Structure 1
Amino acid sequence: MASKPLKYVLFLGTVRENRLGLRVAKFMQNFLLKAGHDVDFMDAQELNLPLLKKPLHFYKNPSEAPPLLVDLGNRIKEADGYVVITGEYNHSIPPALANLLDHFPGSSFSYKPSGIVCYSPGQYGGMRAAIQLRALLGEIGCISVSNIFGLPQTNKSLDEEGKPLNDHMESGAKRLLTQLDWHAHAMRNHREGFGIPGK
């Protein structure tokens, strides 16, 4: 009996002019959909959340929270896992990505896996930001799988519509997703069978 599709939130956390991240997001969204998953794409640029002053969990009365935050929070909670796309700004995590994630409590992400996709136009593919992002994701409860999908020279790897221009794209995404799917299925089964500690 086939299991129900996994639900992934795909985060894109770059808002810089002429960003390459949208190419990466289009590619990953198509790859996840072809694998039979449900994908909820959250783009920091499109969401345009303000610089963090009051996260969702600081509202004692949820009805007083901005409707957009409530909606996003519910969608994050409903996910089985996360794919987080990061560029590299000054060898670090883009501020818009941290700002987006920090609007929500760690309990929204807990006991679910994440996968990191990093990119840059340079030769290192955003790996320095990815290593920092791994620590952040672990702290909010969605520990990343060991494989990191790095995309060096992104402008030569994907066209503007996210179509791959070399074999590395498909094989790299498959390695990441194979790990992520295994963990997402296992953790969903355990949540459904045994619940979450403290609840």
Structure 2
Amino acid sequence: MENPLRLEVIVASVRPQRFAPVVADWFLRAARADERFEVGVIDLIDIPLPTDLTETPEVRAFQERIAAADAFVAVTSEYNHGYPASLKTALDSVKREWRAKPIGFVSYGGLSGGLRAVEQLRQVVAEIHMVSIRETVSFHEAKRKFDADGETRDGAAIDAADRLLRQLAWWGTALRAARTSDPYPG
């Protein structure tokens, strides 16, 4: 593709012995195989964002990276029927840079597969003027869905990832064109 969309994949969990890298790496392979995207990774375990939302050099660098992106996918676990605090801090550390950009979700967890966390996130991203992609990739009982090489045979998840990327490319292209021709009035 001549002008690929800049997609940032946000890895939300920062817990010790987290399962997030397995799920994120699987999704990253799919995203990087899609020529419509230039893919980066924002692993929140590596970014010291202060929970009091103080503006620091790290926060400013994070804001600049978000501003440069055209689209996002959050890879999130579900903790106690919600999403990780690290992801809330990341969302709250940025303001205008999120606006008029699409975000998709890849979730994982126990029986719910992280879907309760995603439903909460949809409310939050709407408030910061993002467009939530309808298709979601969800892994129920995630640790049972991946082999030792980090691959899955979960056909529903594989299909959902393809649909998510198609929808994300459509929204990313449409919103990038709109932001270029008529800046978002948010």
Give the Å deviation of 1:144: 0.4
Residue by residue, what CA displacement relative to the aligned partner does 1:45-88 show, whole Å, maximum 9, x if unpaired? 1223332342x4xxxxxxxxx33222211110011111011111
Distance, in Å, in 2 between the alignment partners of 1:53 and 1:145 is 27
* Residue 92 (structure 1) aligns with: 82
- Given the alignment, which residue of 97, 109, 119 partners 1:108? 97
Matched, 1:23 2:22: yes
* Residue 142 (structure 2) aligns with: 154
* Residue 31 (structure 2) aligns with: 32
Matched, 1:177 2:165: yes
* Residue 181 (structure 2) aligns with: 193
Give the Å deviation of 1:160: 5.7
Give the Å deviation of 1:152: 0.8
Give the Å deviation of 1:195: 2.7
Q: Give the percent of matched residue pairs that are identical in Structure 1 and Structure 2.
A: 30
Whether the 8 Å CA contact 1:25–1:162 is kept in 2: the answer is no
Distance, in Å, in 2 between the alignment partners of 1:108 and 1:71 is 12
Normalising by structure 2, we get a TM-score of 0.91
Matched, 1:167 2:155: yes
Matched, 1:132 2:131: no
For this pair of structures, how many residues does the alignment match? 185
Whether the 8 Å CA contact 2:138–2:157 is kept in 1: the answer is no
Whether the 8 Å CA contact 1:52–1:103 is kept in 2: the answer is no
Give the Å deviation of 1:178: 1.3
* Residue 118 (structure 1) aligns with: 107
**Secondary structure at the counterpart of residue 149 of structure 1:** strand
Distance, in Å, in 2 between the alignment partners of 1:185 and 1:3 is 12
Whether the 8 Å CA contact 1:9–1:83 is kept in 2: the answer is yes
Give the Å deviation of 1:150: 1.1
Distance, in Å, in 1 between the alignment partners of 2:149 and 2:90 is 24
Distance change in 2, residues 1:140/1:162 (3 Å): farther
Distance change in 2, residues 1:158/1:48 (3 Å): farther
Distance, in Å, in 1 between the alignment partners of 2:13 and 2:59 is 19
- Structure with more strand by fraction: 2
* Residue 77 (structure 1) aligns with: 67
Residue by residue, what CA displacement relative to the aligned partner does 1:81-114 show, whole Å, maximum 9, x if unpaired? 1101111111011111111221111x11101111
- Is the deviation greater in 80-89 or in 150-159? 150-159
Runs (5+) with no aligned partner, structure 2: none
Distance, in Å, in 2 between the alignment partners of 1:149 and 1:72 is 25
**Secondary structure at the counterpart of residue 4 of structure 1:** coil
Structure 1 runs (4+) greater than 4 angstroms displaced: none
